[in-house]
Amino acid sequence: MTLDVVITWIVVGGIAGLLAKYLVRGVRTGLVGTIVIGVLGALIGGWLFRVLHIAIGAGLVNEIIGAIVGAVVLLVVLRAVRRL
């Protein structure tokens, strides 16, 4: 894993986490939390898109959209667990 890949993960995670926070209200995180949610969302979104055989766009666009979807799913689950 090169430095370029790590930086891309952080940038994509930050974008996805930030957009997911605006879509799912009620979850407060800092900058690092937002990036972590975005990176975890990218993993969840990538897995989910592979399982459902969904491909949107190509390259970085597909990764960002998958990360946003995964981050939204993660935030919805986190919000539901916190309310229990």
Quote the pLDDT of residue 84. Answer: 59
Query: For every one of its 84 residues, what pLDDT tens digit does the chain have, with 9 covering 90 and above?
Result: 799 988 888 888 888 999 998 998 877 888 898 889 999 998 998 899 889 988 887 777 888 888 899 999 999 998 888 875
pTM of the model: 0.85
- What six digits make up the tokens of 12? 């994509």
Total domains in the chain come to 1
d(CA 51, CA 53): 6
Residue 13 confidence (pLDDT): 87
Can you give the residue range of the structural domain that contains 61?
3-83
Q: Which residues of 15-41 are buried (b: 16+ CB within 10 A; e: fewer)?
A: bbbbbbbeebeebeeeeeebbbbbbbb
